[in-house]
Copies of this chain bind each other. A is one copy, B any other.
């Protein structure tokens, strides 16, 4: 927590500049039509520098200081709360604590994730809500190994809930993503919907 030093501050600023300009360009011209050269030029650094900060063009969308908040909120839920409810509540409180600026950035990221499939895929992969990440978190919370079958399946269901939320937003744009996710998690508390409904006419 000591003074970061000039060098470190410059790096943080360069990284933030690159992301800011990149997201703006993606939004205005589209992802494919924006080249890395364009982004580097807009941020007034060289192409080389771009790739030093972000391994790929997709990664610039992934830079994220929101995910840690969800995690912290989850760990802060009082002991004794049922697992699914704990997850649902931590999503809610973490999102409520975001600044307007962060929330706007989050919106753009989500838009891109929805409109550009590759980005959506990468985002899901590396996000807080990837299966193995949730499994690790949950394992810690309930005091079981992360290899436990129940833990992994629970984590899978949570990831699935997120996929469902994204799909619902995709079909009804304008619907707020986080609230939808929270809502879906609530639905699952009553068991898997439709599981017992008979198929056929």
Q: CB within 8 Å of B: which residues of A?
A: 77-84, 86, 117-118, 120-122, 124-125, 131-132, 135, 138, 141-143, 147, 149-168, 171-172, 184, 187-189, 191-201
28 A–B contacts from the bound complex (CB under 8 Å): A79-B201, A82-B199, A83-B195, A83-B199, A84-B192, A84-B196, A118-B121, A120-B125, A121-B122, A121-B125, A132-B167, A138-B194, A141-B199, A141-B200, A142-B199, A143-B201, A150-B194, A152-B164, A152-B167, A152-B171, A154-B192, A155-B164, A155-B167, A156-B184, A157-B160, A157-B164, A158-B160, A189-B195
Query: A74 CB to closest chain B CB, in angstroms?
Result: 8
- Residues of B near A163 (CB, < 8 A) are 131, 156, 159-160
B117 touching A80, Cβ below 8 Å: no
Please measure, in the bound complex, the distance between the C-alpha atom of A124 and the C-alpha atom of B157, giving whole angstroms.
15
Please measure, in the bound complex, the distance between the C-alpha atom of A86 and the C-alpha atom of B189, giving whole angstroms.
22
Please measure, in the bound complex, the distance between the C-alpha atom of A131 and the C-alpha atom of B166, giving whole angstroms.
10
Q: Given A78-B200, A79-B201, A163-B156, is A192 in contact with B192 using a C-beta cutoff of 8 Å?
A: yes
- Residues of B near A166 (CB, < 8 A) are 131
- Residues of B near A200 (CB, < 8 A) are 77-81, 141
* A120, closest chain B residue (CB): B125
B199 touching A131, Cβ below 8 Å: no
Please measure, in the bound complex, the distance between the C-alpha atom of A125 and the C-alpha atom of B118, giving whole angstroms.
9
Query: Lowest 7 A-B CB distances belong to which pairs?
Result: A160-B160, A79-B200, A156-B164, A121-B121, A150-B193, A84-B195, A156-B160
Q: Given A83-B195, A83-B198, is A164 in contact with B168 using a C-beta cutoff of 8 Å?
A: no
A171 touching B199, Cβ below 8 Å: no
Please measure, in the bound complex, the distance between the C-alpha atom of A172 and the C-alpha atom of B155, giving whole angstroms.
17
A154 touching B83, Cβ below 8 Å: no
B83 touching A131, Cβ below 8 Å: no
Please measure, in the bound complex, the distance between the C-alpha atom of A159 and the C-alpha atom of B166, giving whole angstroms.
13
